[in-house]
Structure 1
């Protein structure tokens, strides 16, 4: 009877640990992909690799030595933006809100605008309807404001 109880306990332990192990392995794989992408972009543009800022579904990396910022989506596409601080006029965060059925105002999207000295605007969406967890919108908004403040101080 003691062996069967122990086996049942180990079985349930395994069932509850498998999702945790899966999430940890998935996050490690995502971090490796992001690091590889940053390495590729940095080698193309002779930038120094620094710690990336992941805000929503977007990755930002600021190179303080070259006064540059790299932005790309965590997805598999190869699109990225490279901004030089000397070409930027300023950076802002914009959010759009919506009312749902119970008249609760929620954030619909969060975008970061990079405005160059030539008055061209680059809009980067860090949060929208496609984001998997809508409860993270306030945290993403806070992180976006922190990033934009750090960038605007460097300009």
Structure 2
């Protein structure tokens, strides 16, 4: 993030704090990867201490609220989708891990699958990334990447490759 943009956001603003993934989006290299990593403690806490319906509800709220959170922050930054906005990665990782049993192997595979879909952006993710704007545009490609990664995770679990 360049200096002018950095001056338009504040980590003291709760909306900016969330949009920047609790500060992880300020990493000088690979902010999306750091944003995804920032989601892991949330995934672990929700998986260990809540029920599946609560986990799904939190994932849904994170995704829907993210439209507003990312939209406001992008407007404040005066940039459509600055790489430091990583709440979309947080929501995408939450989606990836829905109904996935917790282990270091599932966390690692979920992380890798989500990053692959988020970086490579296969169709229709790439289409949405290019053609949908605003807070919804920032969120929708990562939500779909999370859904794709979730489908892969469930397939791997179904086959019994992780146990």
TM-score (ref. length: structure 2): 0.26
Q: Higher helix proportion, which one? A: 2
Normalised to the residue count of structure 1, the TM-score between the two structures is 0.27
Q: Which has the higher contact order (CA 8 A, sep 6+)?
A: 2
Greater fraction strand: 1
